[in-house]
């Protein structure tokens, strides 16, 4: 494996009930990359993420990763009323470590430690989930649309936070999103899944990338956020 890389995928294929989802894809992601993963619903984004996390059996091809991966699933898969203190949740990844240390401080959740998880706001719960993932000292962090259903201000704060974590901790971050409007502002690379293939480009070229994968249909993806006006034209 190339030392510059954090993830290397070679000739990876995956089928589900005889339908090919990903067909012989190869790509690599460099260390410290902040990657947005985009693609239509059902294009195979989640499948790709699950393959990287080693949650799916019977794949063809090779996936190499440098170091451990932490994962933050979709907000809807989290029981927001779970009856535990934030402290108890963070202790899942922190046996002897200092709960008032770096991670907790950098996410500004020191004052939430003794509160109940279910009494926190959506944004606060998200920060707790990030803290939990960072406490396992991962080299790679994968997030699956954690901002769905969150208001725009909270979303933007979240992106800023990701950028900061990415810088401060030299962490490779992969972020599955439908929100293509903000990619060039916060991310370094865009990985587009479509037509059973995967394409990677600089985040600045996201629109060109979407065009090349989806042709004129790329607005379907685009219209989810930010660009309602554009779609009406």
Partner 1 sequence: MIELLQYEFMQRALLGGLLIGITSSLIGVFLVLKRLSLLGDSFAHASFGGIALGFVLGWNPLLTAFGFVSIASLGIDRLINKIKLYGESAIALLLSFGMALALILIGAADKINANIFSYLFGSLLTISYQDIMFASIILVLVLIFYYFNYKKLFYSAFNREIALIRNKNTKIIDKIFILLCAITIVISIRAVGILLISALLVIPSLIGLRLSNSLKQTLMISSCASVLGIYLGIFISYYFDLPTGGTIVMSLIGLFLISIFIKK
Which residues of the chain form contacts with partner 1 (CB under 8 A)? 53-55, 69-73, 77-79, 82-85, 87-89, 91-93, 116, 132-133, 136
Bridge partners (DSSP) listed for residue 37: 176, 191
Q: Considering beta carbons, is residue 88 or 168 the nearer one to partner 1?
A: 88
Closest approach of Cβ 84 to partner 1, in Å? 4
Q: What is the DSSP letter of 116?
A: B
Give the shortest CB-83-to-partner 1 separation in angstroms. Answer: 5
CB of 12 to partner 1, least distance (A): 19
Residue 214 DSSP SS3: helix
C-alpha–C-alpha distance, residues 168 and 164, integer Å: 6
How near is the Cβ of 99 to partner 1 at its closest, in Å?
Answer: 14
Closer residue to partner 1 in complex, CB, 54/121: 54
Q: How far is the CB of 67 from partner 1 (least distance, A)?
A: 14
CB atoms within 10 A of CB 112: 23
For residue 124, give the 3-state DSSP assignment. helix
Nearer CB in complex with partner 1: 1/55: 55
Question: How would you class 56 by CB atoms within 10 Å of its CB: exposed for 0-12, middle for 13-18, buried for 19 or more?
Answer: middle
Give 107 or 132: the residue with its C-beta nearer to partner 1.
Answer: 132
Residues of 185-201 as b/e, b for ≥16 C-beta within 10 angstroms?
ebbbbbbbbbebbbbee
The nearest distance, CB 79 to partner 1, in angstroms, is 7
H/E element, 25: strand 19-30
Rounded-to-integer distance, Cα 203 and Cα 35, Å? 8
> Token pair 């996936």 is at which residue?
63
What's CA 222's distance to the chain center, in Å? 18
Nearer to partner 1, 81 or 153 (CB): 81
- Closer residue to partner 1, CB minimum distance, 77 or 153: 77
């Amino acid at each position: 494996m190339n030392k510059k890389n954090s993830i290397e995928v070679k000739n990876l294929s995956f089928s589900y009930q005889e339908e090919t989802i990903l067909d012989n894809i190869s790509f690599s992601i460099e260390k410290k990359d902040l990657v947005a993963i985009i693609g239509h619903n059902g294009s195979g984004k989640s499948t790709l993420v699950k393959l990287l996390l080693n949650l799916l059996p019977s794949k063809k091809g090779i996936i190499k990763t440098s170091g451990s991966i932490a994962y933050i699933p979709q907000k809807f898969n989290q029981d927001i009323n779970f009856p535990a203190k934030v402290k108890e949740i963070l202790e899942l990844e922190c046996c002897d470590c200092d709960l008032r240390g770096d991670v907790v401080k950098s996410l500004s959740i020191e004052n939430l430690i003794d509160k109940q998880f279910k009494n926190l706001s959506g944004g606060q719960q998200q920060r707790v989930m990030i803290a939990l993932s960072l406490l396992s000292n991962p080299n790679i962090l994968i997030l699956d649309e954690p901002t769905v259903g969150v208001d725009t201000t909270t979303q933007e704060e979240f992106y800023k936070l990701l950028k900061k974590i990415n810088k401060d901790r030299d962490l490779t971050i992969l972020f599955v999103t439908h929100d293509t409007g903000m990619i060039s502002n916060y991310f370094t690379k865009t990985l587009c899944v479509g037509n059973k293939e995967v394409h990677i480009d600089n985040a600045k070229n996201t629109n060109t990338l979407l065009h090349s994968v989806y042709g004129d249909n790329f607005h379907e993806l685009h219209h989810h956020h930010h660009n309602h006006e554009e779609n009406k034209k």
